[in-house]
Structures are given as structure tokens and as C-alpha cells.
Amino acid sequence: MRKVDFIVSADAILTANSQQPFIEKGAVAVQGSKIVGVETQGKILQQYESKKIFSLGDSLLTPGLINTHAHLPMSLLRGIANDLSLDEWLTKHIFPKERQNCSKEFVRLGTELALSELLLSGVTTVCDMYFFEDDIAEVCEEMGMRSVLGQSLFSGEAPDQASFEEGFHRAERFISRWKGHELVSPALAPHAPYSVDPDQFRRCAELAKDSSVLLMSHILETKTEDSHFQKRYGMSVTEMLEDSGCFEVPFLMAHFVWPNDSDLKRVTKNVAIAHCPQSNLKLADGFCPVQRLHDCELTVGLGTDGPASNNDFDFFAEIQTAALIQKAITENPESLKANKVFEMATLDGAKALALQDKVGSLQVGKCADIIAISRDGLHHWPHHDVYAEFTYATKASDVTHVWVNGELLVENKKLTRVDQKDLRTRVKNFSIR
């Protein structure tokens, strides 16, 4: 019998591993940060022993969920401007608020609030792009969250940069500080083609290539973005991205709501998409053609975007919205079947962040990022189809346990490293001008 740090067992496991996708009465054995066994309870208990056994009974174990696009500190701007178009929301409300309020303290508290909410909804990896990314990384490290963090860059002034040049050097320092960290993967995030110049995109692509980090940006979020860009630069957004080398490196495009046929022909297999259905709906951006992207064999993960345009980090709400709107816009109920949406929330999210060797499925050798979902609620009964149960019926509040890298961060629906009452008080007392 091999001794392990802990064993977690449950009536059902969805692994996201195509070799063994579903295990009835299954268990996962974990040693250190790694999964060492995923099998039926009988087989695991024959091979492994542990002083710590979580026998969760009628629960569903899945890989931790992967949020491929967020702006964590914007949790403090939740509810500040609503029912507006992206342009008006961003330029008249969000950018001015950020200029007034965005500081290291703002970013740290907002990140703590965001990560707490994400963990409670079963998210174990989050991809962020914002300002003062060093501070965000420190909070992610303290709270034990796996993260891919892109220092945001703008063509001119931003809350943490007087110029693009200053921001670029900040990004270089950020990448060299965090490169190789166990939980935090540094990345580079030129904000969008309407806020970063083409030659600056080229420099970002070069830096991403030289330092082997993920490049990410907001691309074709609104209907008018491409025509405005063409008027200004005489080429389309994807022509600029191709020309500047962005498609030669792993490149995560948030939104990609309005690609045309030539955009879809131009993108390469290096590209993945962070689909943020609730943010797209709230800002009336349009509908991302996820089924078409899948037909082009592109990887699509799910994202919440910032909570100021959502307005929460409820990842199961995102999962359900993604599934339902795709069926409606394609007028095809077979679009985004329940098992595919489960994959988008787990393994495809990991692929989009270039983390598929580490996370995204419950498999021996991968990191122990695991969540447990209680099936006690009447909305889980009866258990006819476990993928349909996960995609269409599960709520964030059903998540009872969350492990990241083998660390228990949520136990019986309570955060283990954060006092929620104290956090609420600190958020309440933080003044937003």
C-alpha cells in the first residue's frame, strides 16, 4: 500500500480525460501537488492509504474550472455603470473611474474579493489582464490560486504607466520575476487594437515569442471595431495581427464576436478564444459564433470578463449561458452539447492558456486541481445524464470543496484562507471616488 497525502471519493467523477471520461463510485489519490491515482474507489483503496480521506458520497468530482478571461480588481467597480454600450461604458465610466481609483491597494483588495468569489464557484485557474499585475500575482500566490496574468498595455497613459514604453518595461520586469513560478504564469496583454498601435502589437508579439509567454488581447468585441480600425490603418484587425506576428505565438483572443470568413481563414492554430457570453450579452456586443469556431478547429475556453460587465463570477451561469445562446443563434439544439461545454470549462480552457500539460483533466501526473459538487439539491435529481446535470442544472452554490495544486482552498462551501466577514467589511470600507 502506498501512502498518499489524501484521497477524495465520490459517487461520480467526470475526468475530462477521453481515455476514461466517467467513473462511477470513483476516487482520486493525491500526493503533494499531483494526482497519483484516478480510479474506482475499490481500486484506489486497494493501492493507496491515507490518514486524510474525504468520503463525499453523492457528489460529483470534476477538474477545477478554468476562467480564461477576467479583470479581477474590477470586482470593486461592480454595479458602477450598467445598461450601456461597450464604448460608452468604457470611455465615459470605467476608464475615468480607473484613472481616479486604480492603485496598488485597489488592485489587491479587488483581486482578493474576485478570487474568493471564483474559488467558491469552482474556478481553480483564472486568466487576468489588468494594471499593477505584480500585486495581483502576489495576491494570487498568497491565496493559492493558479493564474495566468497579463500586464495590460495601452498606447499611452494608463493607471500604472505614463507611456507605452514605461508599461512595456514594467511588463518585461513582471515576466522575468514570475517566469517559472509554480502557480503564476506571466503573460502579456496589449489591451485591444483600438487602444494599442500596430507597431506596439509587433513589439508585444516579439517579447511574447522571446520570453515564451502567452499573448492576449480583446479582439473584435463589437460590430464596428473592424471598420473603425480599417478607416484608421487601411487594413483589417486580423491583417494587422497577422502582419505583426501575433499569430506566430500562442495568442488568446478575448471575445472574437465578429470574425468574417477572411478573419477565420487568417487565424492559425496558435490562436485560442476566450468566450465571455454574459459580458457580450450585457454590453449588447453580439453573439460569438462558437460553433463556427469549433468547425474551424479552434480552441474556445470560457470567461467571465470583469464583474463590472457581468456582474458576477458565477462560472456555472457562464457555462449555461454559453450552451443556451449557441443553440438559439444557430437554431440547432445540437450546437454545444452538454459534454462539449463541460470540456470548454475544463480541458479546452487549459489548452487556451497553454496549461493543458498541467491542468484541465483529472489524470495521473497532472496537478491536483479538483472540485466537488454536491448533488443534494433537488435540482440534481434524478441523475439521468451527468453531463446534462453539470451543464444545465448545477449552480455555483453546489460547489462544496476546491483543491488547487493539492491545497484545500474551499471546504464545505467555506474559504480556508479568507475570512469572508472580514473581507466584506474591508470592501465596504474601501472608498471608491
Binding region for Zn ion (CB under 5 A): 305
Identify whether the C-beta of residue 131 lies closer than 8 Å to the C-beta of residue 102.
yes
Compute the distance between CA of residue 323 and CA of residue 333 in angstroms, rounded to an integer: 9
Q: How far is the CB of 22 from Zn ion (least distance, A)?
A: 34
Q: Quick one: 305 or 369, whose CB is closer to Zn ion? A: 305
Q: Quick one: 185 or 280, whose CB is closer to Zn ion? A: 280
162 by Cβ neighbours in 10 Å (0-12 / 13-18 / 19+) ranks as exposed
Q: How far is the CB of 71 from Zn ion (least distance, A)?
A: 6
Q: How far is the CB of 231 from Zn ion (least distance, A)?
A: 24
Q: How far is the CB of 94 from Zn ion (least distance, A)?
A: 10
Q: What 8-state DSSP symbol labels residue 68?
A: E
Q: How far is the CB of 221 from Zn ion (least distance, A)?
A: 8
Identify whether the C-beta of residue 64 lies closer than 8 Å to the C-beta of residue 103.
no
Q: How far is it between the farthest Cα atoms of the chain? A: 69
Q: How far is the CB of 428 from Zn ion (least distance, A)?
A: 26
- Cis amide leading into 311 (omega within 30): yes
Q: How far is the CB of 85 from Zn ion (least distance, A)?
A: 15
Compute the distance between CA of residue 84 and CA of residue 87 in angstroms, rounded to an integer: 8
Compute the distance between CA of residue 176 and CA of residue 191 in angstroms, rounded to an integer: 20
Apex 243 CA angle, 71 and 304, nearest 5: 15
Q: How far is the CB of 384 from Zn ion (least distance, A)?
A: 37
Taking CB positions, which residue lies at the least distance from Zn ion?
Answer: 305
* Residue 342 in grid coordinates: 463541460
Q: Quick one: 23 or 219, whose CB is closer to Zn ion? A: 219
Q: Quick one: 189 or 355, whose CB is closer to Zn ion? A: 189
Compute the distance between CA of residue 287 and CA of residue 336 in angstroms, rounded to an integer: 14
3-class DSSP state for residue 51?
coil
CA-nearest of 48, 80, 58, 51 to 13 is: 58
Distances (CA, A) of 191 to 109, 153, 217, 401: 22, 6, 5, 34
Q: How far is the CB of 133 from Zn ion (least distance, A)?
A: 14
Identify whether the C-beta of residue 158 lies closer than 8 Å to the C-beta of residue 131.
yes
Identify whether the C-beta of residue 262 lies closer than 8 Å to the C-beta of residue 243.
no
Q: Quick one: 70 or 373, whose CB is closer to Zn ion? A: 70
Q: What 8-state DSSP symbol labels residue 32?
A: T
